Structure 1
Amino acid sequence: MKTYAVERVGQQIVEWYSCIMTKDIKQAKLLKPEVDIMVANMEPDDKMLAYYQLVSLQYDLLVLREAPDEKTEALNETILENIAVQTNDYLNFMYYYVWGQTEFYKQRYKSAIRTYKIAERLIEKVKDPLEKAEFYQKLGISYYRIDQYTFAFSYLEQALEIFEKDSSYIMNVISCKQILAGIHSELKEYEKAEAIYTELLVLSKPYPYYQAITTYNMGLSRIFVGNLDEAIQHFNKAIRIEEFRNSAIYLKAKYHVLNLQMRLGNYAEGLEQLEEEVHNKDVKEIEGKLLICRGLYLNEGYWLIEKGLNLLQTHEYYSECRNLCEEISKHYKKADDYKKALYFLEYANEMGNKTILGVDQS
């Protein structure tokens, strides 16, 4: 039997609950068996299971009110209504929280933030502080993804303040600190970033995957300060950790190694193999970046640079586009091609504006 990801199940429950709220009993009845099967075969997640149970309660109440002859078991409407009233605010919070989570995993970060902000209005109805912390963490990460570092920092610090009081949430502590270190690097506060990474190496030592993530992020930090050789060493160290190989950023680490070798002029091999891996896994972000590498560093044609940037834009990787345009601009400036250097610098600014202002994600 297929196992369903929590985010996919959440998306289906949100759709089901939307039908219940609009009293579309016909569609709600059609969706119920689908939701039941997905929940029964969902990855373990107590929060999503609780949300499903609350929505199921609302469904039972809808059937009692709108189609009393179709109820399949003895249900007391008064009891159901009393429970529904008591849980209504929390259910509304969960509705927007799960909806926002669905948008987040689709990488529609601005849409996720809009939805999370509605949920935030109901946050006081959430009694469990750790549940609040998980919400703040999600919201902080969403802001980080669109380069809104002040908001991201604020929400992540709120989350950390709660997580650090419970040792069973060490993974959440590590994840929050990874992003805070990344923000410091982006803001050129390298000493602060390095201090957090040093702490993370200790915290993540019992967890090879998180140790690899820390090492990978330290590689990114080395790129920011221009230590490209050290960056390659960190990426290769992360790649050698077995638990990292199924990570979503494993291929990114391999890309960074090749990209940096090309920038340093000591690339030898590996591009074709990585292109095949990227093609098999349909990773458009890295596919676009590798096209740019071919055009820029292997001199296989300016059109490949344009094709790579267009691919990234099509899939709304605006932040990556901005970073790559800055890299391309520096390359052409070094080659004394100031016209192209200026063009790609302006291109980078345009992508930066799209990252901040966004596009319609409704």
Structure 2
Amino acid sequence: MISSKIPYDLVSTRLNFWYTAIKNNLINEAKEIKREVEQLIMNMEENQDVLLYYQLLDFRHELMLSYMNAKGLKEVNETYEQLRQNEGNLTGMLEYYFFFFMGMYEFRRRELTTAISAYRIAETKLNDIEDEIEHAEFYFKISEVYYYMKQTFFSLNYAKKALRIYSKYDTYHDHTIHVQCIIAGNLMDILDYEGALIQFKENLRIARKINKEYLVGTSYMNLGICCNARGDYEAAERYLKSALEIFEEGNHSFLPKTIFNMAHALCKGNRKTDAKIYVEKGISLAQMNNDVEYISKFNILQGLYIKEDKHLLDQCFTFFKSRQMYGDIEDFALEAAEYFRRAGRFEMASDYYHIVNIARTEIKKGEIIYENKNDYLGIDDSREHRYLRKFNKK
């Protein structure tokens, strides 16, 4: 009797199309292909690797949705727990994707050092991946985490690797914009605001040309952040309002970030009454999504500008330290120190200058750790950390 089962290589081909749609943030197309794949798998020839590939892409699909929409990670967490049950059965390409997607997941949770550790393991498996674009995707993602950790040299190094690959092709303008955002962010960290503004304006031009609304919003948001950093609060407000119009309509995951930066610019521009409206709105949204990072960031604004509550500030810095977010500690502690110095409260200012120095020391330690290529796996005893330790012992 001739088998009526669907060949697994056909399903594998559709899985590749699904992954391409996911990487390009094509939500509707990805959902449609996912439904098709689920029907095919029900009648597929038995193949464990194809089933595991499906589970990995389902996880990546949920990560995309959490990125494109302002919502929590509940669905992603559930998919992640299901995926981990098969961690011992992964080899080659599948093992690479497991650690690559784990890195993305940990970054989304702002577990930065765990994300770096997962990416570093994935990098050892990158040779199993023939697709050059996938290499560029990896380089971009790891550059993003290094940027958040203020590891400027490493971030720029990987971002430029990604850019060299994407620039060979005519169909990856949106990916190029993402990489250029990281490069421009690093320019801001070395105080080259003019260079960053030029890049963000170029990103806006390209985003309009390719008609990607969320990238237009991202460009406006980044222009606002840059103007805020250089002290041009009126320009920052204009750009951020344009970003908010786009992100509120699409309920994008950058909505809390944009609201925060609007509140931040208003606080720094001494418009505390207006800022308070955005702070309250942002806290409500962050709490609804269990977004612990932005709950703490909005509380920084509350504790510094609106309530002047040192206890609340200290709670926020404790949270940032627990996530090894030393870049944020440096920035916010310096802002607090300058705020209290201008107010003539020199003892308070001194306390926060001390925190700045500690953060800078930790950032410098990180440079040494990564330069020596010793994975920092943290001291947390969660299952993710234990798994990474176990893997490194193999």
TM-score of the alignment, normalized to the shorter chain, above 0.5: yes
Judged with a 3 Å threshold, the aligned counterparts in structure 2 of structure 1 residues 95 and 39 are, in CA distance, closer, same or farther, namely: closer
Matching residue within 100, 122, 141 for 1:138: 141
User: Where does residue 344 of structure 1 map in the other structure?
Assistant: 352
Judged with a 3 Å threshold, the aligned counterparts in structure 2 of structure 1 residues 204 and 330 are, in CA distance, closer, same or farther, namely: same
Structure 2 unmatched runs, 5+: 1-21, 24-47, 63-85, 367-377, 386-394
Q: Normalization by structure 2: what TM-score?
A: 0.65
Matching residue within 109, 121, 124 for 1:121: 124
Query: Which of 172-181 and 254-263 deviates more?
Result: 254-263
Alpha-carbon distance in 2 for matches of 1:250, 1:345: 31
User: Where does residue 283 of structure 2 map in the other structure?
Assistant: 275
Shift of 1:184: 0.6
Q: Normalization by structure 1: what TM-score?
A: 0.71
Cα displacement string for residues 241-297 of structure 1 (whole angstroms, at most 9, x for unaligned residues): 256652222122212222322332223241433332232222222222333333322
User: Where does residue 169 of structure 1 map in the other structure?
Assistant: 172
1:257 correspondence with 2:262: yes
Please, what is the CA RMSD of the aligned residues?
3.4
Alpha-carbon distance in 1 for matches of 2:140, 2:58: 27
Alignment of 1:66-145 (within 5 A): 89-145=92-148
Cα displacement string for residues 287-313 of structure 1 (whole angstroms, at most 9, x for unaligned residues): 223333333223453323223333443
Alignment of 1:151-170 (within 5 A): 151-170=154-173
Judged with a 3 Å threshold, the aligned counterparts in structure 2 of structure 1 residues 353 and 41 are, in CA distance, closer, same or farther, namely: same
Where 1:215 maps in the other structure, the secondary structure is helix
Shift of 1:199: 1.3
Residue pair 2:60, 2:101 contacting (<8 A) in 1 also? no
Shift of 1:216: 0.7
Judged with a 3 Å threshold, the aligned counterparts in structure 2 of structure 1 residues 325 and 124 are, in CA distance, closer, same or farther, namely: same
Residue pair 2:299, 2:316 contacting (<8 A) in 1 also? yes
Alignment of 1:180-329 (within 5 A): 180-205=183-208, 206-242=211-247, 245-269=250-274, 270=277, 271-299=279-307, 301-329=309-337
Alignment of 1:5-16 (within 5 A): none
Residue pair 2:112, 2:325 contacting (<8 A) in 1 also? no
User: Where does residue 73 of structure 1 map in the other structure?
Assistant: none
Shift of 1:218: 1.1
Shift of 1:146: 1.4
Alpha-carbon distance in 2 for matches of 1:93, 1:283: 28
Alignment of 1:43-82 (within 5 A): none
Shift of 1:211: 0.8
User: Where does residue 331 of structure 1 map in the other structure?
Assistant: 339
Shift of 1:333: 0.9
Cα displacement string for residues 20-41 of structure 1 (whole angstroms, at most 9, x for unaligned residues): xxxxxxxxxxx99x96995796
Which one has more relative contact order, counting CA pairs under 8 Å at least 6 apart? 2
Alpha-carbon distance in 1 for matches of 2:183, 2:264: 25
Counterpart residue identity of residue 255, structure 1? F
User: Where does residue 75 of structure 1 map in the other structure?
Assistant: none
Alpha-carbon distance in 2 for matches of 1:278, 1:91: 34
Counterpart residue identity of residue 109, structure 1? L
Residue pair 1:244, 1:250 contacting (<8 A) in 2 also? no
Indicate the structure (1 or 2) with the bigger Cα radius of gyration. Answer: 1
Alpha-carbon distance in 2 for matches of 1:290, 1:116: 29
Identity of aligned residues (%): 21
Shift of 1:357: 4.0
Q: How many residues are matched?
A: 296
Alpha-carbon distance in 1 for matches of 2:60, 2:154: 31
Cα displacement string for residues 48-71 of structure 1 (whole angstroms, at most 9, x for unaligned residues): xxxxxxxx9x96xxxxxxxxxxxx
Counterpart residue identity of residue 164, structure 1? S
Alpha-carbon distance in 2 for matches of 1:36, 1:177: 30
Judged with a 3 Å threshold, the aligned counterparts in structure 2 of structure 1 residues 328 and 229 are, in CA distance, closer, same or farther, namely: same
